[in-house]
Amino acid sequence: MIKKTHFYDNINLYITVFIIIASQSITALSSTASDNSSLMKLITQNEDPRMGVKDLNRSVSAMNRSKNIDT
């Protein structure tokens, strides 16, 4: 017969391993998604060379227009 302490130790181990693997997968997916996001592309396309900063208002409005076109 399996002792309850060994059973709970194994369950805790399995849960810990699952959480570690799942968090690694989510981290990889979210970093890939943020690198390829349309907002980041629009921000880099609308860079203002005179000021050296990005015009976020144009980027956001362009993103809103592209969302309206896609739907």
Q: What tens digit of pLDDT does each residue of 14-69 get?
A: 999 999 888 887 766 666 665 556 666 666 666 666 655 555 566 666 666 766 65
Domain boundaries, the chain: 1-35, 37-71
Per-residue pLDDT, 21: 87
Residue type, 1: M
Q: Is the pLDDT of residue 1 over 60?
A: no
The Cα 64–Cα 52 span in angstroms is: 24
Q: What is the pTM of this model?
A: 0.37
